[in-house]
Amino acid sequence: MTSPAPSKANAAASGPADKEAHKPSNFLRQIIEKDLAEGTYGSRRWGGSPGDAAHHAAGQPDPARVRLRFPPEPNGYLHVGHAKSICLNFGLARDYGGVCHLRFDDTNPEKEDTEYVNSIKDAVQWLGFGWDNKSPAGHESNLYQASDYFDFMYRAAEYLIEAGHAYVDEQTVEQMRISRGDFAHPGTDSPFRSRTPEQNLARFREMRDGLHEDGSMVLRAKIDMASPNINLRDPAIYRIRRAHHHHTGDKWCIYPMYTFAHPIEDALEQITHSLCTLEFEDQRPFYDWLLDRLCEGGLVATPHPHQYEFARLNLTYVLTSKRKLAQLVYDHKVSGWDDPRMPTIVGLRRRGYTPEALQLFAERIGVTKSDSWIDYSTLEGALRDTLDPIAPRAMAVLDPIKLVLTNWDAVMGAGKLDDCSAPVHPHHPELGKRSFKIGKEVWIERTDFEETPPKGFFRLFPGNKVRLKYGHVIECTGCSKDANGNVTEVQATLIPDTKSGTPGSDAVKVKGVITWVGVNDAVQAEVRLYERLFVEAHPDAGGKDFIENLNPNSLKVLQAVVEPSLAAAKADDKFQFERHGYFAADRVDHAAGRPVFNLAVGLKDSWGK
Ligand code: ATP
Ligand code: MG
């Protein structure tokens, strides 16, 4: 038995190259290039950590030319949409001499799970990125959590109140909803809108001190109740919520709203380009309004960050909502977040996706300013294209039936085994060869034999000749059946002097070549075949219950036989099973002596059509 020569596919994942090949431009690259050319952010200073205007003013000129951030909420596992955002943000930072922060957006006092925090960190690093950056001041770890900024957010809220830009509103939720108006009607002022800053400050402090019920009042920005942008009609910025926060405990019973918190997080971290998905476009005026006010008050450094929106990833046959993915997990529709059918990063990884494949996918889909759907095959194509040049080849028989070479003993000698070999990779002779043995009995695919062949069938049927790949030409002579008429064994005779690679071996012409595994050195393996998790391209479109669109055939488990080189496969190793597709040794269940392979993606052209 030989193991495949080490190959790049199965070496430890290496990070993205420093020297990137020329990348196609996009609107975000153009914005960054223009800002760099014009020195938009050239005057920024960096205090070595997030902070207010004074903190950064005391620092040095920012060694990072741009700062971006990836700000997940730690409330689930990241999915392929987040992978796009990670590749985008960290990729732009890398390409333009900047840094990208990983920021846990944990301002919502929900139960955070360290499981989620850790999985997010793993996902970013596995994709080839990191938050540990070098700076002239030394090492800088740009890993942050937004709840660290609660004190500053509170201070910013008090500042807005004092400057006459915010007020405490005691209307009911329903009153507020009605007075907000709609697209056709301007809103009307709250009766609480004309309170003095002193009154508002006193009230807000009472909110903070726990003197009022949850939901009894909110702090609102005082902007314009008649604004055509409803988000500027005095949005709520702080609410009362008696909730235990996993980091700040019970210190606060008021929490900032996301739309208030997010711009502040960006500003404290000196983010230059704050990228978000298109849903936030209508929030941009408030983002700017808020940071303009805080700059006026000298609370945050100028120039403040700017928000740019790009289209989120929508992928056919795939859900990209953490909440809906969580439902699949908790309802046991899949085996867990890392089920190989899940579009989570852990699921894709277990399926056999590589960081390179996801980076290539992100590059190919690019970034645009309008929503669209990406075909699932684009994701699969990126995987195939990255695995094809590097994955070692192997033969596997997924649905085995025994083929007996009835003249073997006479032609080759009783009990004799003949050595065969094949390249580890057809385009990389330097990777060496794999070897296996052929004997009197071999396993072949059940579908490679037809007693009565349909038109155009070139594989085994009585009287037809095919080549056993890397082996000999054989001629089918018949089959045996059980009482029910099911084929239990196929018989053939070996044609002497036709072994691949020997002189004159191609004298006998055949139309079909089939893959096989010798009974003598076959390795038993579990093979898990996957199909798309949903039968509908848009499983949750129009409020449809996506559970009803689950594909009942998305997982098929087979007891297969594989060539002996695969006995040395280690968890996560990727292979091309010739004729079948790309397979990965399962990260969780694969073990020496008990191999388990996942179908990562099929070959482009299906065999034997
Ligand atoms: P979900 O609705 O699945 O929870 P989310 O947007 O609320 O997604 P966050 O943790 O808030 O998840 O997202 C972190 C970052 O990932 C955000 O900057 C967001 O823009 C980005 N992101 C999330 N989903 C996608 C997607 N489908 N395509 C591109 N970027 C995405
Ligand atoms: Mg979110």
Nearest CA to ligand 1 atom 26: 81
Long-range CB contacts (within 8 A, 24+) of 70-73: 70/100, 70/101, 70/102, 70/103, 70/124, 71/103, 71/104, 71/105, 71/146, 71/262, 71/265, 72/104, 72/105, 72/120, 73/104, 73/105, 73/106, 73/108
Q: List pLDDT tens digits, range 432-457.
A: 999 999 999 999 999 999 999 999 99
CB of residue 71 inside a 6 A radius of ligand 1: yes
CB of residue 327 inside a 6 A radius of ligand 1: no
Domain 162-260 class?
alpha beta
Query: Which residues make up the CATH 2.40.240.10 domain(s) of the chain?
Result: 314-390+522-609, 399-521
* Contact status, residue 523 vs residue 566, Cβ threshold 8 Å: yes
Tokens of 370: 């309008």
Which of 145, 277, 546 best tests ligand 1's pocket when mutated (most atoms within 8 Å of CB)? 277
- The number of angstroms, rounded, from the C-alpha of 304 to the middle of its chain's C-alpha atoms is 31
Nearest CA to ligand 1 atom 23: 82
Q: Can you tell me the distance from the alpha carbon of 489 to that of 481, in angstroms, rounded to the nearest whole number? A: 7
Which atom of ligand 1 is found nearest the CA of 321? 3
Residue 242 above 90 pLDDT? yes
Nearest to 239 by CA among 261, 260, 218: 218
Q: Which amino acid is at 587?
A: R
Name the CATH superfamily housing domain 399-521: Ribosomal Protein L25; Chain P (2.40.240.10)
Q: List pLDDT tens digits, range 325-350.
A: 999 999 999 999 999 999 999 999 99
Which atom of ligand 1 is found nearest the CA of 277? 20
User: Cα-atom radius of gyration of the chain, to the nearest Å?
Assistant: 31
Sheet with 512-514, edge to edge strand ranges = 512-514, 465-468, 473-481, 487-494, 400-405, 441-445, 516-518
Calculate how far, in angstroms, residue 75's C-alpha sits from the geometric centre of ligand 2: 8
DSSP state letter for 74: S
Tokens of 145: 């959590």
CB of residue 321 inside a 6 A radius of ligand 1: yes
Calculate how far, in angstroms, residue 258's C-alpha sits from the geometric centre of ligand 2: 9
Residue 399 above 80 pLDDT? yes
Which-ligand-closest: CA of 79?
1
Q: Can you tell me the distance from the alpha carbon of 521 to that of 75, in angstroms, rounded to the nearest whole number? A: 48
Q: Can you tell me the distance from the alpha carbon of 516 to that of 444, in angstroms, rounded to the nearest whole number? A: 5
Which-ligand-closest: CA of 85?
1
Mean pLDDT of 360-366: 97
Residue 215 above 90 pLDDT? yes
Nearest to 383 by CA among 361, 350, 366: 361
Q: What is the DSSP string of 167-193?
A: EEE-S-HHHHHHHT--SSS-----TTT
Calculate how far, in angstroms, residue 77's C-alpha sits from the geometric centre of ligand 2: 12
pLDDT band at 426 (very low <50, low <70, confident <90, very high): very high
* Kind plus residue range of the DSSP H or E element containing 166: strand 166-169
Residue 6 above 50 pLDDT? no
Residue 1 above 70 pLDDT? no
Which residues line the annotated binding site for ATP?
73-75, 277, 312-313
Nearest to 243 by CA among 74, 77, 76, 112: 112
Mean pLDDT of 72-94: 96
Calculate how far, in angstroms, residue 86's C-alpha sits from the geometric centre of ligand 2: 15
Active site residues: 73, 312, 322
Calculate how far, in angstroms, residue 235's C-alpha sits from the geometric centre of ligand 1: 22
Q: List pLDDT tens digits, range 104-160.
A: 999 998 777 789 999 999 999 999 999 998 766 678 999 999 999 999 999 999 999
Nearest to 369 by CA among 287, 281, 274: 281
Calculate how far, in angstroms, residue 129's C-alpha sits from the geometric centre of ligand 1: 18
CB of residue 343 inside a 6 A radius of ligand 1: no
Q: Can you tell me the distance from the alpha carbon of 552 to that of 109, in angstroms, rounded to the nearest whole number? A: 38
Which atom of ligand 1 is found nearest the CA of 322? 3
| SS3 state at 556 | strand
CB of residue 277 inside a 6 A radius of ligand 1: yes
Distances from the Cα of 522 to the Cα of 363, 407, 563, angstroms? 41, 21, 5
Mean pLDDT of 402-429: 97
Which-ligand-closest: CA of 80?
1
Predicted pLDDT of residue 607: 33
CB of residue 147 inside a 6 A radius of ligand 1: no
List beta partners, residue 166.
221
For 193-338, list the strands marked E by DSSP: 218-221, 236-240, 254-256, 273-277, 306-310
Which residues line the annotated binding site for L-glutamine?
105, 258
Q: List pLDDT tens digits, range 275-324.
A: 999 999 999 999 999 999 999 999 999 999 999 999 999 999 999 999 99
HEC string for 83-111: HHHHHHHHHHHHHCCCEEEEEECCCCCCC
Which-ligand-closest: CA of 280?
1
Nearest CA to ligand 1 atom 15: 72
Query: Which residues make up the CATH 3.90.800.10 domain(s) of the chain?
Result: 162-260
Residue 544 above 90 pLDDT? no
Q: Can you tell me the distance from the alpha carbon of 189 to that of 222, in angstroms, rounded to the nearest whole number? A: 10
CB of residue 74 inside a 6 A radius of ligand 1: no
Nearest CA to ligand 1 atom 9: 72
CB of residue 368 inside a 6 A radius of ligand 1: no
Q: What is the mean pLDDT of the chain?
A: 94
* Contact status, residue 259 vs residue 237, Cβ threshold 8 Å: yes
Calculate how far, in angstroms, residue 73's C-alpha sits from the geometric centre of ligand 2: 6
Q: Is the pLDDT higher at 265 or at 18?
A: 265
Predicted pLDDT of residue 136: 60
Domain 314-390+522-609 class?
mainly beta
